[in-house]
Amino acid sequence: MSSVLTRTESRQSFVSNHTNGANGNANGKNSSRLINQYGLNTFNEDVMRDKLPKEVYRKLQDTIQKGARLDENVANSVAHAMKEWALEKGVTHFTHWFQPMTGLTAEKHDSFLDIDFDGQPVERFSGDKLIQGEPDASSFPSGGMRTTFEARGYTMWDPSSPAFIVDGPHGGILCIPSVFISYNGEALDKKTPLLRSMRALNEAARELLTLFGKNVDKVSTTLGPEQEYFLVDKNLYAQRPDLILAGRTLIGAQPPKGQEMEDHYFGSIKERVLAFMQLAEKELYKLGIPAKTRHNEVAPHQFELAPIFSEANIAADRNQLVMETLKKVANRLDLALLLHEKPFAGVNGSGKHVNWSIVDSDGNNLLEPGHTPEENLQFLVVLVAVLRAVHQYADLLRASIASAGNDHRLGANEAPPAIVSVFLGATLSRILDAIEQGNSEQSSAKKIIDLGIANLPKIMQDNTDRNRTSPFAFTGNKFEFRAVGSSASISMPATFLNAAAAESLKYFHDAIAVELKNNKDLKVACLAVLKKEIAATKNIRFEGNNYSEEWVAEAAKRGLPNLKNTVEALHSLRDPKNIKMLTDMRVYTDAELDSRFHTKLEQFCKTISIEAETLESLAKTMVLPAAISYQNSLIESVRGLKELAEVLESFDGLPEQVDLLKTVAVEISALKKALGELAACEEHAEGIEDLSSRADYVVNHTRKLLDDVRSHCDVLEEYVPDSLWSLPKYRELLFVM
Ligand code: ADP
Ligand code: MG
């Protein structure tokens, strides 16, 4: 491939381009200090205070904090300040930046440049342009919600997430985080339902807190997504059509070394990777994204970045920016970033541990044990409410993380299984068991509080037991939802989790209120409800090894859903119980939910279809020609040996060599046959009108054939001479950097 550098060339260009500038600021000015870099490209609170008239600033803060409506004058004033700020930084264009159902982000740039009535150029950006946009949005997936004749979709500014500047090669772009809705106000994006779920949780949690005598302004959800990814040399990547088109290797024999030496996890970071991490972090800091930790992950060339957590909506925006920035920076350094959940067979895949908690406007984390028995009681109520949420809506949570890519991970030995359960750790389990067993009469209730709950913070402090196999684990003062895929938007899992938690908190509020009406004291009332709900949700708690066969059997006995693949899981979106909860909480309408179901099923079918076609083309144009060349040389050699054997009277090695030829020939034929079956399968799938039936067929037939085709390719890779094999192999992709 002439357009691609050789490996040595690409390494050299990397070294000259990037090592010199590693220290950034050559003149040693203090502007390179972290805190001076942080948020430089965001229209953050400091900038607002600085650039906006006092009154406008106050009104905007009201909108941001409490969702108050912005009037036209304020909007115009904010737009003006934003424009001036952006122009000073060399920005030429603005865009509403939104998150359609593709799971990616979308932008359509508009220049600040306008032409006045007298033909003079002016820079213009008005309040209405800031607040609303109307991209020609007919090509975004809507899952049938928006027919093309009424294709109009609107983007509306989300003031709760700060606007930011993305630097371009020749000027920046001002990005305005926005929701995307249809003409009738239906959510066409991932942000709108997330915002609604935050509102639902806010309402339910505040109401619950009043029982404990607390009136807080606001309760928010916090998210901290740990992002895993792979890096490979871009030159090698460019030679793998499967990585380019499908994001994962569709073929590839196992190298002699994988991750078995356990030498990569937390290992010292290679210089080329460190340069990437440092440059990426610099970009992220500018965008106001507090990248906090970085390390090597378990698989070779696998890494992780974790930011400091933030409010859910902002965290979701930031995670999208993290993924985009990592990709961009990798490309700049002649690396390719792989966000796919399973880019390589035989080594770990990538996930996104989404840490989730609830915090009130006084700064109290509701999932943190408190300092008094009363506070601990409140903590336990919130904790068990979350247990109830996961127990009731485990299938919905499973659906929220379903994708073709994540199917390769869930249930495999390195990742949480498709069965959703909760890990609490020994201390909390003991306390919940004690409450469940105690009767709710005053005396024993008091005993439990005295013995267990009163000491909670002290016990929790050194309670470090962790269960790495659990899909949903309590980790001290937050839950960690570990089954989310690495390439996924975190919005949907967070939305479902918030909605389910909101419903559950409301349920607890109502149940405790009933007990209080019966003249019970708060502690007794709480313990009575806790006792009942601890018993009712017991099945969702699992402390053992989630990877074990025994757990699969045990979970089945407990009646927990085990939705093995995306298609099975997505049907939870149409389950009446789930529709009721999500509509009751006013997070989705039935039509919006239905559209997610269709969009996700369609994405699944399309993904498999792209994989199938890519694999076919790889097999036909690269694997088969190489294998047949080798076969020909074997035929030649066997024929030659046979002739020679007649001359040399004693040569008895012929059968072994014929065997080698046979092995190769048999694999070639088997591959050809499997390819025929795959093509037939695809044709059949295309003919199935009903999306749901098509998805069933694709998951049960087409996808299985991908593995079949692959197995023959992988055997051939082990036989065909390296010189004939044009695809970079796993040993190069995973070990050359
Ligand atoms: P570990 O790998 O042990 O889980 P990390 O330090 O890699 O720990 O990641 C912890 C993540 O949890 C970080 O992204 C952090 O911001 C997040 N986190 C911590 N506290 C909270 C919280 N209250 N709410 C949401 N996320 C949190
Ligand atoms: Mg973690």
Q: What are phi and psi of 540, to 5 degrees?
A: -80, -15
CA-nearest of 317, 60, 320 to 195 is: 317
Distance between CA atoms of 29 and 36, rounded to whole angstroms? 11
| Cβ atoms within 10 Å of 509's Cβ, excluding its own | 21
Q: For a substitution probing ligand 1, which of 313, 365, 478 has the most ligand atoms within 8 Å of its CB?
A: 478
Whether residue 355 has its Cβ less than 6 Å from ligand 1: yes
Atom of ligand 1 nearest to the CA of 304: 7
Domain assignment of residue 598, yes or no: no
- The preferred substitution site among 201, 220, 226 for testing ligand 1, maximizing ligand atoms within 8 Å of CB, is 226
- Residues with Cβ within 8 Å of 54's Cβ and at least 6 positions away in sequence, in order, are none
Same domain (yes/no): 384, 520: yes
Nearest ligand to the CA of 364 is 1
Phi/psi at 311 (nearest 5 deg)? -60, 145
CA of 653 to the centre of ligand 2 (A): 57
Q: Across 388-440, where does the E strand assignment appear?
A: 422-423
Q: How far is the CA of 343 from the centre of ligand 2 (A)?
A: 21
Q: Is the separation of the CB atoms in 248 and 345 below 8 Å?
A: no
Helix locations, 254-311, DSSP H: 271-286
Q: Ligand 1: which of 353, 355, 468 to mutate, most ligand atoms within 8 Å of CB? A: 355
Residues 555 and 626 in one domain: no
Q: Is residue 226 in contact with ligand 1, taking CB distance under 6 Å? A: yes
Low-confidence ranges of the chain (pLDDT < 50): 1-28, 148, 440-443, 462
Q: How far apart are CA 417 and CA 432, in angstroms?
A: 25
Q: How far apart are CA 304 and CA 295, in angstroms?
A: 6
Measured in angstroms, how far is the CA atom of residue 291 from the centroid of ligand 1?
A: 11
565 C-beta closer than 6 A to ligand 1 = no
Report yes or no on 17 lying in a domain. no
Selection from 141, 161, 134 nearest residue 100 by Cα: 141
Question: 383 in ligand 1 pocket by Cβ < 6 Å?
Answer: no
Are 421 and 487 in a shared domain? yes
What per-residue confidence (pLDDT) applies to 407?
A: 95
Q: Please tell me the distance between residue 697's alpha carbon and the centre of ligand 1 in angstroms.
A: 40
Distance 477 CA to ligand 1 centre (A): 10
Q: Which residue CA neighbors atom 26 of ligand 1 most closely? A: 224
User: Residue 513 is part of which domain span?
Assistant: 198-247+263-588
Ligand 1 atom index nearest CA of 368:
23
Q: Two tokens at 562?
A: 């085990």
Q: Rounded to the nearest whole angstrom, what is the distance from the C-alpha of residue 411 to the centroid of ligand 2? A: 18
Cβ 359 vs Cβ 222: under 8 Å: yes
Atom of ligand 1 nearest to the CA of 223: 25
- How far, in Å, is the centroid of ligand 1 from the Cα of 203? 25
How many angstroms is it from 308 CA to the middle of ligand 1?
7
- Shared domain for 632 and 531, answered yes or no, is no
| Ligand located closest to 351 CA | 2
Is 272 found in the same domain as 225? yes
Choose among 350, 351, 370: nearest CA to 360. Answer: 370
Rounded to the nearest angstrom, the distance between the alpha carbon of 484 and the centre of ligand 1 is 15
Q: State in Å: Cα 329 to ligand 1 middle.
A: 24
Among all bound ligands, the one having the nearest atom to the CA of 222 is: 1
Beta bridge partners of 419: 562
- Quick check: CB of 341 below 6 Å from ligand 1? no
- Cα-to-centroid distance, 475 and ligand 1 (Å): 9
* Structure confidence at residue 455 (pLDDT): 59
What is the residue with the minimal CA distance to atom 22 of ligand 1?
A: 357
pLDDT in tens, 680-703: 999 999 999 999 999 999 999 999
Tokens representing 125 are 């950006």
Q: Is the CB of 307 under 6 A from ligand 1?
A: yes
- CB of 486 within 6 A of ligand 1: the answer is no
Ligand 1 atom nearest residue 359's Cα: 23
Same domain, 622 and 711: yes
Same-domain pairing of 539 and 399: yes
User: Which contiguous run of DSSP H or E holds residue 7?
Assistant: helix 7-18
The verdict on residue 641 lying in a domain is: yes
* Strand 121-123 with 113-115, pairing: antiparallel
3-state secondary structure 146-197: CCHHHCCEEEEECCCCCCEEECCCCCEEEEEEEEEEECCCCECECHHHHHHH
Residue (of 64, 77, 133, 110) closest to 85 by Cα position:
77
CATH of the domain at 323: 3.30.590.10
For residues 488 and 378, state if they share a domain: yes
574 shares a domain with 502: yes
Burial of 639 (0-12, 13-18, 19+ CB in 10 A): exposed
- Is the C-beta atom of 468 inside 6 A of ligand 1? no
Q: Is 223 in the pocket of ligand 1 (CB under 6 A)?
A: yes
Distance 24 CA to ligand 1 centre (A): 29
- pTM for this structure? 0.92
Kindly state whether residue 4 falls inside one of the protein's structural domains. no
Mutate to test the pocket of ligand 1, among 298, 309, 318, 468 (most ligand atoms within 8 A of CB): 309
User: Which ligand 1 atom is the nearest neighbour of the CA of 365?
Assistant: 23
Residues 608, 566, single domain; the answer is no
**12 in a domain, yes or no?**
no
Q: Which residue's CA is minimally distant from atom 5 of ligand 1? A: 306
Q: Judge if 512 and 412 occupy the same domain.
A: yes
Phi-psi region of 185 (alpha: psi -120 to 50; beta: other; left: phi over 0): left
* Any ligand 1 atom below 6 A from CB of 478: yes
Please classify residue 659 by burial: count the beta carbons closer than 10 Å to its beta carbon, then call 0-12 exposed, 13-18 middle and 19+ buried: exposed
Q: pLDDT value at position 258?
A: 84
What span, in angstroms and rounded, lies between the C-alpha atoms of 635 and 629? 10
Residue 3 lies in a domain: no
Q: Is the CB of 293 under 6 A from ligand 1?
A: yes
Q: How far apart are CA 365 and CA 475, in angstroms?
A: 13
Check if the beta carbon of residue 724 is closer than 8 Å to that of residue 629.
yes
State whether the beta carbon of 365 lies less than 6 angstroms from ligand 1.
yes
| Residues 572, 399 contacting (CB under 8 angstroms) | yes
Q: Is residue 504 part of a domain?
A: yes
637 lines ligand 1 (CB under 6 A): no
Tell the residue nearest (CA) to atom 7 of ligand 1.
Answer: 306
Q: Encode burial over 592-629: b for 16+ CB neighbours within 10 A, e otherwise.
A: bbbbbbbbbbbbbbebbeebbebbbebbeebbbebbee
> Last residue of a domain, which of 189, 211, 235?
189
Extended strands (E) in 558-618: none
CA-closest candidate to residue 492, choices 427, 553, 569: 569
CATH number, domain with residue 121: 3.10.20.70
**CB distance 716 to 704 below 8 Å:** no
pLDDT of 8 = 34
Closest ligand 1 atom to 306 CA:
14
Question: Do 490 and 575 lie in a common domain?
Answer: yes
pLDDT of amino acid 29 = 54
Any domain includes 32 = no
On whether the CB atoms of residues 472 and 423 are closer than 8 A, the answer is yes
Total domains present in the chain: 3
pLDDT of residue 1: 34
